[in-house]
Structure 1
């Protein structure tokens, strides 16, 4: 009995030892599985954060300039997906010469921002260095203000790793660094990728370094990141024993590199078994993993103390064995048989656990990342699908039942002629990692852009058994890239091609025309007096006007021709020959001018626009796009000089005229302050009495080198550059001061006429400026006559009527100059509050020999008489002209027949002679003209 009992107890001890060993192996295996899953989770989480830096880097690679707003919109979703990212930034390489401009720009975004550096863990103003690597953009700005403008190149950290990243274009992680953000010192890891100059060739490390412009970087809070991933893992591992988890930002277990420590939860005392009966071996797993070129270490330890739930079988065996041993030796054989059965079942369960472990590792890798679609294929001919995750079904519409056993090539359908498809096939054939962007098709036939990452799965012997493919829908990114390309080649306001696209089309057309022997015309178009019209319509009205002009230009051209907006009110055309011809025709350009000349209705206003056009011809003027466009511009300026509303072909002589124009324009900017302008006065004479009743003030430019510059050479330039505003104000003030001097000499019946430009009338304070001059000089308002040209009044009738009404309130006289040369109607004329009509000299010149001119002059005289207006005839040069005007009732005249325009000093003699005149206008005019000619 004792022997049986001892034998039973001995057998029980052996069984207990075996079962405990199996239970220990099971616990150790489960711990290793959990540690492996935790490592995979860390790798995936860190990889996702690094991938976000890559996606931001692709934004800068896809376009030449990324605005601060675009950067913020692009990175916000990434920050929401990865809350442990402190901030995503764009770093810019900055020279010391650029520092001041950069700080001024940053100060507008965040007042007080300067270039800083970290000293003793705190940002301070950076010292002077030849080169900085400063944070230009950072999102979110809140909480990261201290990082804005931070020079990350000082103090020097990990420059060797950063140099490798610059040379390869791959992401690089820093060592643990102290962050400038936050009220207390914080430690982070900076993952950065180099940004190269847009469009630069990157065919080697030297080329990459030469094209380097900056970096994109993400600041990770490693403790928060790993804590977040660990918390997610804890939720999935609920029900399993805990582990002591430590993560080091280095290959070794250095205390100062410890970034995360999660101790295991303490088990209740009632759930633990005595250590003398169940000693623990303290299982430990140490696995390194890569973080953007840096090796980190994860160390997992099994907590001490055996749990009851892990050793139920051995406890049961020990208790049952003791009971059976006490019952006697009779049960020894039964007990032995039971022990054999238990051993067999344990072996089977162990085998099942190993098989389950292999399947779980495979499924874990596919399921862990649920954001992107995952498909697993077998490494067999045809690559049959063995698993797809739910995200794949959402992306493609194909479920697991649809794809199992089928090749993923079904996603390409018949669209197999793609570079990305060839890359996928090569990666599978060579059993390597692969990356491609391909066009795929959903189950309903809809096309989407798919970014693929393929990785082979190897067994314990290194053989490839499966392929895992991560897929991401980038259709929205592709659409955004397409929109960026459209914006880069088209005008945002009108939708027309811009200069870039025009030059590209022009280059292609020149190549085609050189083979066919055709000519083509490049036409530069600029709207006449657009600045005046735009100032009246306002910014939005001007935009609507430009869009209307663009539509009219498109209607006036054929589909094979090109119209582009170069900028402002400048447009350009590329005209091809019509069918059956080798060169374009002039009527194609005239058709454009006529189309633009038709009345336009913008914001309830009727507008009349004209344009000036310059034409350069291929190949006569040039065979290159740049010179052709420049010479078309030169010809356009010549058309403007000739009064606008016409077109001119480029000639070599225009280059010389352009140089003269630039010389005059430069000198004009300083002529006023150098007092080079003078006023000449031409008498206006009453035809009946011969008395001088008024004087027209005419500006002259006495240049020290060019001599006396004619008004028609500098007045259009002054209009175009806006200098006419100060010049016009000077003319009005000077004329008023001279008039007061004549009035002081007793000539109180004189009036002075001053010409007003369209730019002056467009100014909001024009009427007030006239009132100020009258008040400052003391001139009676009725002694001042403001002359408005018919064309400038008709360009914006309602505005002109409003201005004339306010001027009449001041008491000044108003005259319509060059009457008959514009396109005013009688309906408009009766609304104008004018006092005088001036007959243009073009009608007076030939009125004695041309019946048409004579009829126009007599009509204007009769019209003025019927409307109660005074009429003055300009350009009277002969006695016959004077006789005709007197015969038909013209009241006043001015011209060379009586007197040329004279300086104020020389005009004194004319005024004295006129004091003794008694109606003999013909005799006085003939003598004076002869004297002035002498």
Structure 2
């Protein structure tokens, strides 16, 4: 009975350890040879109702498997009430292979394929022999003698007297030596073995007798009856009677292959720990360091000898308070594991960040024996993460928050303002004519300017606002906690004045700038962060349109204009693809003869949904979006095709004038495109005139002169449109290879009654003639205007007084035909 209690107690401890190791409940059953449950055990946490349920789950599975067909370490997975279980079955046999029963364990989770059964196998192996004895007791308590006892063991057991004669051996000896007991008992070593083996056995017998205690006399490889190789260990001990007199020698040879394997596993684990790049630190239950690996020394700078017996507090950086460590230890003691990041200190005093995992190691009595910490130095990793975060969320030049972070921060600030029921203002601004600074002073100076603007914004950002850079010279400020309406205007003006303070870099002269600002206010203009940004952008656009160097507050009408702008922009793409544009032509007449000298091609657009859209409305949008390049080529091609058709039919029209936008002329391939269209359409260059504004001539003067000369060499007539509205100098004007000056209609509309316009018109006519240029006036609408221009020597005119723009089909009959 005492043996049975020991088995049960050992079994119970094994199940508790297994349950903790696998983080699951474990219930085990002992079945007899008839598959009847004889004993049930489970880990401590399982309550009676759960134990009964586990028995009910296991019983039908066991009943369906004949014990004789049971494989070693058979694992069966089942599902019960939508929960998954694993059942582990292990047959129990005695030393003679006789079926004793079955060991069965059920786990309240699925076991993986690589699940290590070593712990349970150890239990089964340890219990197997004892259960064999219990089984014998259950067989009507049949008599037990020494022979029965030693035959119950798989180890080789024998006893010799002092003369070296074998007096007893077990059945394992019979199998190993391939001899019957009668052939061994009563014999001596020289009767059974060769001379060398006999000499070795006698020497080891004498060693055990002299030692008067058990000693290991040999370890060697051997083979079992199935010719499987294994490691054997032989232990010999003196047989001492009650009078302390040695009566002989007891010998036991056992298979230590499993122990050898465990040693290999321990050596392998030790090698892994020693060679891992992670630091490993082991302490006893009191927190005293008992072992570290080489990576620990590499990371911390402390050698093993310096830390053994010390407390891990020698690594304390001082960056964590007592509450941090209290929470860490509480988690460790309750859950048995803690994972997190700790700032520690190296031996040289450097502070470093480590990612650490600390595990408690429990003994069989469920008390903590050791703590094992595994950690790695993540200082460089954190630096790289910060660099990546900086690249992702901060502008590389100014180190201000970029668009992504700014939008995220703005969302938080909007929610905060809504909670506090306060106002918030979004200010978007850019530097007026920043491109001119880059072009004239260089991009390096431009970058320095942006950095300095960012620095000035950073200096004020901690007071009452947050800042960010969206792109190039475009910045955003968010004013927080606005409680009064007039606070916005005063703060905006203050910020504007700070930004516009003169800049000086190195020994260069002062740089002065102005900025244009657009402002939207929460919640007046929107309660949505994205809309606030969009509204501020709209207001900024209006500020720049209004002449720059100003602050514009958003109102809803701006959005309506923006929507209309977007509609036209989208419709322009479709109009280009679907060829929805058409041309009208306004005649140009000689004032002296009244004869037709040319036509100006004017674009018209009739939209199927929006109706007629004025060029004054869609041309500026086309210029801003870059669509003017495609539209300009479309107009040029249509005009050339029409001109070629008229010429082929014998109609004379002088020259067809086509307007060229400034940004269109600045394109490097513009002249090549003109030449290509002339070639493709067959239109003579001498019948084409290109009209360009004064602003078109101001961009890169030397290049402009070169390009105009190329066009003139092709035979194209060149004219300056809207003359008098720009800022061209006379010295520059006389260098241009142009043919015609066109007086803008703004100077024509009030003559001869407005003295200023009259004087300007006269001056342009005189100036043009002095430069050997023809003069044409546009927008002539009255007889008096035409008379004044003729009287003052103007060469040509066009306008409603002479003819409105007309379709080609309407105009054709009015042209002179030579056929």
Taking structure 2 as the reference length, the TM-score comes to: 0.58
Q: Does 1:373 find its partner at 2:279?
A: yes
Q: Distance in 2 between matches of 1:873 and 1:418?
A: 89
- Aligned residue in 2 for 1:761: 665
SS in 2 for 1:453: strand
**How many residues get paired?**
584
Computing the radius of gyration over CA atoms, which structure comes out larger, 1 or 2? 2
Aligned CA distance change for structure 1 residues 798 and 468 (closer, same or farther; 3 Å): farther
- Aligned residue in 2 for 1:444: 348
Deviation at 1:787, TM superposition (A): 1.8
- Aligned residue in 1 for 2:387: 483
Which deviates more from structure 2 when the two are superposed, residues 708-717 or residues 887-896? Answer: 887-896
Q: Does 1:582 find its partner at 2:484?
A: no
- Aligned residue in 1 for 2:633: 729
Q: 2:779 aligns with which of 872, 875, 884?
A: 875
Q: 1:342 aligns with which of 198, 211, 218?
A: 211
Whether the 8 Å contact between 2:279 and 2:299 is mirrored in structure 1 is: yes
After TM superposition, the structure 1 = structure 2 runs for residues 707-746 of structure 1, keeping only pairs within 5 Å, are: 707-743=611-647
Q: Does 1:789 find its partner at 2:658?
A: no
Aligned CA distance change for structure 1 residues 580 and 618 (closer, same or farther; 3 Å): closer
Deviation at 1:395, TM superposition (A): 0.7
- Aligned residue in 1 for 2:425: 520
SS in 2 for 1:631: helix
Q: Distance in 1 between matches of 2:78 and 2:785?
A: 91
Deviations 1:537-556 (A, max 9, x none): 9xxx9999996895586488
Q: Distance in 2 between matches of 1:248 and 1:513?
A: 57
Say what the alpha-carbon RMSD is for the aligned residues.
5.5
Q: Does 1:408 find its partner at 2:312?
A: yes
Q: Distance in 1 between matches of 2:550 and 2:720?
A: 25
Aligned CA distance change for structure 1 residues 673 and 482 (closer, same or farther; 3 Å): closer
Q: Does 1:660 find its partner at 2:564?
A: yes
After TM superposition, the structure 1 = structure 2 runs for residues 390-539 of structure 1, keeping only pairs within 5 Å, are: 390-417=294-321, 421-430=325-334, 432-459=336-363, 461-491=365-395, 496-510=400-414, 520-523=425-428
Deviation at 1:415, TM superposition (A): 1.1
SS in 1 for 2:720: strand
SS in 1 for 2:376: strand
SS in 1 for 2:683: coil
Q: Distance in 2 between matches of 1:527 and 1:610?
A: 6
Which deviates more from structure 2 when the two are superposed, residues 458-467 or residues 577-586? Answer: 577-586
Deviation at 1:450, TM superposition (A): 0.3
Whether the 8 Å contact between 2:397 and 2:451 is mirrored in structure 1 is: no
Deviation at 1:472, TM superposition (A): 0.6
Aligned CA distance change for structure 1 residues 748 and 322 (closer, same or farther; 3 Å): closer
Give the number of the structure with larger relative contact order, counting CA–CA contacts within 8 Å between residues 6 or more apart. 1
Deviation at 1:733, TM superposition (A): 2.2
Q: 2:796 aligns with which of 892, 915, 921?
A: 892
Q: Does 1:387 find its partner at 2:256?
A: no
SS in 2 for 1:694: strand
Deviation at 1:458, TM superposition (A): 4.1
Q: 1:696 aligns with which of 600, 604, 609?
A: 600
SS in 2 for 1:667: helix
Aligned CA distance change for structure 1 residues 372 and 745 (closer, same or farther; 3 Å): closer
After TM superposition, the structure 1 = structure 2 runs for residues 767-806 of structure 1, keeping only pairs within 5 Å, are: 767-795=671-699, 797=701, 800-806=704-710
SS in 1 for 2:527: coil
Q: Distance in 2 between matches of 1:554 and 1:657?
A: 32
- Aligned residue in 2 for 1:812: 716
Deviation at 1:377, TM superposition (A): 1.7
Q: 2:270 aligns with which of 357, 361, 364?
A: 364
Aligned CA distance change for structure 1 residues 386 and 767 (closer, same or farther; 3 Å): same
Q: Distance in 1 between matches of 2:323 and 2:730?
A: 72
Q: Distance in 2 between matches of 1:849 and 1:418?
A: 92
After TM superposition, the structure 1 = structure 2 runs for residues 93-172 of structure 1, keeping only pairs within 5 Å, are: none
Aligned CA distance change for structure 1 residues 594 and 694 (closer, same or farther; 3 Å): farther
Q: Distance in 1 between matches of 2:497 and 2:741?
A: 34
Which deviates more from structure 2 when the two are superposed, residues 848-857 or residues 833-842? Answer: 848-857
Whether the 8 Å contact between 1:528 and 1:645 is mirrored in structure 2 is: no
Q: 1:670 aligns with which of 551, 570, 574?
A: 574
- Aligned residue in 2 for 1:926: none
Q: Distance in 1 between matches of 2:405 and 2:518?
A: 20
Whether the 8 Å contact between 2:331 and 2:337 is mirrored in structure 1 is: yes
Whether the 8 Å contact between 2:597 and 2:654 is mirrored in structure 1 is: yes
After TM superposition, the structure 1 = structure 2 runs for residues 544-563 of structure 1, keeping only pairs within 5 Å, are: 551=451, 554=454, 559-560=460-461
- Aligned residue in 2 for 1:751: 655
- Aligned residue in 1 for 2:528: 624
Whether the 8 Å contact between 1:372 and 1:471 is mirrored in structure 2 is: yes
Aligned CA distance change for structure 1 residues 250 and 510 (closer, same or farther; 3 Å): closer
Q: Distance in 2 between matches of 1:793 and 1:494?
A: 36
Q: 2:807 aligns with which of 897, 900, 903?
A: 903
Q: 1:680 aligns with which of 580, 584, 603?
A: 584
What runs of 5+ residues in structure 1 fail to find an aligned partner? 1-42, 44-157, 166-246, 254-279, 283-303, 306-314, 325-334, 599-608, 916-934
Whether the 8 Å contact between 2:580 and 2:605 is mirrored in structure 1 is: yes
SS in 2 for 1:582: helix
Deviation at 1:451, TM superposition (A): 0.9
Q: Distance in 1 between matches of 2:83 and 2:514?
A: 61
Q: Distance in 1 between matches of 2:410 and 2:310?
A: 50
Taking structure 1 as the reference length, the TM-score comes to: 0.52
- Aligned residue in 1 for 2:52: none
Deviation at 1:529, TM superposition (A): 13
Aligned CA distance change for structure 1 residues 462 and 527 (closer, same or farther; 3 Å): same
Aligned CA distance change for structure 1 residues 552 and 882 (closer, same or farther; 3 Å): farther
Q: Does 1:706 find its partner at 2:575?
A: no
Aligned CA distance change for structure 1 residues 414 and 500 (closer, same or farther; 3 Å): same
Q: Distance in 2 between matches of 1:832 and 1:496?
A: 47
Q: Distance in 2 between matches of 1:498 and 1:680?
A: 49
Deviation at 1:629, TM superposition (A): 2.1
Aligned CA distance change for structure 1 residues 566 and 580 (closer, same or farther; 3 Å): closer
Aligned CA distance change for structure 1 residues 476 and 854 (closer, same or farther; 3 Å): farther
Aligned CA distance change for structure 1 residues 696 and 322 (closer, same or farther; 3 Å): closer
- Aligned residue in 2 for 1:94: none
Whether the 8 Å contact between 1:697 and 1:735 is mirrored in structure 2 is: yes
What runs of 5+ residues in structure 2 fail to find an aligned partner? 1-20, 22-76, 85-111, 119-153, 157-175, 178-194, 219-234, 236-258, 504-512
Whether the 8 Å contact between 2:590 and 2:797 is mirrored in structure 1 is: yes
Q: Distance in 1 between matches of 2:493 and 2:754?
A: 31
Which deviates more from structure 2 when the two are superposed, residues 640-649 or residues 409-418? Answer: 640-649
SS in 2 for 1:455: strand
